Structure 1
Amino acid sequence: MMSLNLGPLALPLDRLPLLAALVVALLLSWLIGRRQGGNADGPLLLTGLTGLLAGRLGFVLQYRDDYLAAPMSIINVTDGGFAPLAAIAAMLALGALLAWRRPLQRWALTGALAGGLATWGVGIAAIHTLSPEPPTLPDAHVQTLAGDVRPLGDWRGEPVVINLWASWCPPCRREMPVLSDVQQERDDVTILLVNQGEDPATIQAFLNELDAPLEHILLDPRSGLSGHYGSGALPTTLFIDAEGRVVDSHLGELSRARLSRGIEAIVAD
């Protein structure tokens, strides 16, 4: 399972530890602050926001060439681009400074930060440990726009990116130029654009409107791949290595930088 479905909303599982860390940190700030006479909610929130900004900035700098090609994507934080080590370093540095300058809030802030960071780390470890092994590339068949049937096994033995999409999905439509550009530029990975549940005429009409060349358009009429990989929303992008294992995944709109990071995880040095 890649996401937690809450009615029409799908929350990626890797966001849950961050939410849990925020709750724990605020609770500890309140509990310790009651005993020490100095609630640290303000400094705590400032430290947390600084960490988020630093984590985003660290990722942007790491993939600066991709972001320079599309500067507006820097503010699209839904792409999940985040550098945890940069975030932790910034939070610890600012937290230490604020704790030193605010004696009354020192213990509340220190305890809240420690508890929040510990919860975040334990949550991430728990997801990786307790989550079942992602399914491998299935022995399923997909269709081409021409009506030919192809087994997914044809792509075993090479790194593959599978993008699950539909023409009615706005973020799917927005990310198509990014996928098109990378398809044209890279020959070390195959990007399969597997439509979920739509008929050939609908897909072709969408492609005719799109000002971007796309390759490897495939049809999954019964949305079998979404069910196979436990995806609760579109678009979903799966990064699969040459052995058919899902090494990385992304739920939601892709930026060029996020696509680059996922490809790095499956392409051999």
Structure 2
Amino acid sequence: MPSVGPVPMPVVVILIALLLAMGSARLWTARQTPPPRPSGAGRVLDMLLVGLLCGRVSFVIANLDLYREAPWSVLQIADGGYHVAAVLATGLVWGLWSLRGHASLRVPVLCSALAGSLLWGVGSHGLATWQANTLALPAVQVLDLQARPLDLQQFRGRPLVLNLWASWCGPCRREMPVLARAQQAHPELQFVFLNQGEPQDEVEQFLRAERLELRGVLLDEPAAASTALGVRAYPSTLLFDAQGRLQDLHLGELTHAGLEHKLRRLR
């Protein structure tokens, strides 16, 4: 289960950690008379938001070369481009600064934020370990564009980028040029564009109309790969290591910078 409905599991982990941290700060400060102002829970939320903003800015600055050709993609915050260290450091610094005049809130807010950060770290590590051990490259029978049968297991041995897509999916269509460019730039990686639920003629018509030059376009008309991997939304891009273990999963449209960042870690 890589997501809860349309929400990716890494986001679910962050939300759970945030809610527990805010709840802890709220309960801790509720015993103070009179109730402190501003709200301790609100300060925890502000620390996260400021941290995420600075973590995003840090990532964009460090990868300006990746954003130069499509600067608008800076706004696509769901591409996964954040520096976690910057998120934590700037969130802490902002929290200390914002609480300088509220001594009664310092310990509850900072301890709750620390507990939430630890839970986020442990939960993220546990999720990554579970995904690597559970969501392995499935043994699914698919077809190539010459109607020859293949098994996804044959792609073990080299790192694999598996893109699940459909031609009716707008975000799938928009990200295809990004993936095509990445395939050209990274011959050391395998790319499989596994269409879900469409017949061969529709797929070929789409490729001709979009003038896409892609290697590794395969057909999975029963959408067996989506079922095996628990994927419920397209596009979904899964990155497997040479042993077929899931290393990363992205639900939704990828930007050039977001994809390149993931590919660099896959090598």
Residue 110 of structure 1 corresponds to which residue in structure 2?
110
Question: What CA RMSD, in Å, does the superposition of the two structures yield over aligned residues?
Answer: 2.1
Query: What are the within-5 Å matches in structure 2 for residues 145-164 of structure 1?
Result: 145-164=145-164
Residue 24 of structure 1 aligns to which amino acid in structure 2? L
Moved more, 252-261 or 42-51: 42-51
Residue 255 of structure 2 corresponds to which residue in structure 1?
255
Q: Which runs of 5 or more residues in structure 2 are unaligned?
A: none
**Equivalent pair of 1:24/1:116 in contact (CA under 8 Å):** yes
Residue 253 of structure 1 aligns to which amino acid in structure 2? E
Q: Would you say 1:30 and 2:21 are equivalent positions?
A: no
Offset of residue 51 of structure 1: 0.6
Residue 143 of structure 1 corresponds to which residue in structure 2?
143
> Per the alignment, do residues 261 and 158 of structure 1 end up closer, same or farther by CA in structure 2, a change over 3 Å counting?
same
Query: What are the within-5 Å matches in structure 2 for residues 113-128 of structure 1?
Result: 113-128=113-128
Residue 67 of structure 2 corresponds to which residue in structure 1?
67
Q: Which runs of 5 or more residues in structure 1 are unaligned?
A: none
Query: Among residues 13, 32, 35, which one is paired with 1:17 in the alignment?
Result: 13
Q: Would you say 1:195 and 2:195 are equivalent positions?
A: yes
**Equivalent pair of 1:165/1:193 in contact (CA under 8 Å):** yes
User: Could you tell me how far apart the structure 2 residues matched to 1:124 and 1:158 are?
Assistant: 25
> Per the alignment, do residues 125 and 239 of structure 1 end up closer, same or farther by CA in structure 2, a change over 3 Å counting?
closer
SS at match of 2:68: helix
**Equivalent pair of 2:2/2:231 in contact (CA under 8 Å):** yes
Offset of residue 18 of structure 1: 1.0
Offset of residue 90 of structure 1: 0.6
> How far does the alpha carbon of each residue in 1:12-31 deviate from its partner, in whole angstroms, 9 at most, with x for none?
11111210122122222322
Identity %: 36
TM-score (norm 1): 0.88
> Per the alignment, do residues 49 and 137 of structure 1 end up closer, same or farther by CA in structure 2, a change over 3 Å counting?
closer
> Per the alignment, do residues 42 and 155 of structure 1 end up closer, same or farther by CA in structure 2, a change over 3 Å counting?
closer
User: Could you tell me how far apart the structure 1 residues matched to 2:251 and 2:15 are?
Assistant: 17
User: Could you tell me how far apart the structure 2 residues matched to 1:238 and 1:215 are?
Assistant: 17
> How far does the alpha carbon of each residue in 1:64-108 deviate from its partner, in whole angstroms, 9 at most, with x for none?
321222111111012122221110011111111222233243234
Offset of residue 211 of structure 1: 4.5
Residue 111 of structure 1 aligns to which amino acid in structure 2? C
User: Could you tell me how far apart the structure 2 residues matched to 1:266 and 1:48 are?
Assistant: 28
> Per the alignment, do residues 51 and 227 of structure 1 end up closer, same or farther by CA in structure 2, a change over 3 Å counting?
same
> Per the alignment, do residues 136 and 48 of structure 1 end up closer, same or farther by CA in structure 2, a change over 3 Å counting?
closer
> Per the alignment, do residues 189 and 32 of structure 1 end up closer, same or farther by CA in structure 2, a change over 3 Å counting?
same
Q: Would you say 1:78 and 2:74 are equivalent positions?
A: no
Residue 133 of structure 1 corresponds to which residue in structure 2?
133
Residue 186 of structure 2 corresponds to which residue in structure 1?
186
Residue 230 of structure 2 aligns to which amino acid in structure 1? G
**Equivalent pair of 2:199/2:221 in contact (CA under 8 Å):** yes
Q: How many residues align?
A: 263
| Consecutive aligned runs of 4 or more in structure 1 exceeding 6 Å deviation | none
> Per the alignment, do residues 180 and 56 of structure 1 end up closer, same or farther by CA in structure 2, a change over 3 Å counting?
same
Residue 151 of structure 1 aligns to which amino acid in structure 2? D
User: Could you tell me how far apart the structure 1 residues matched to 2:137 and 2:130 are?
Assistant: 21
Residue 207 of structure 1 corresponds to which residue in structure 2?
207
> How far does the alpha carbon of each residue in 1:135-168 deviate from its partner, in whole angstroms, 9 at most, with x for none?
4333433212232223334433222211010111
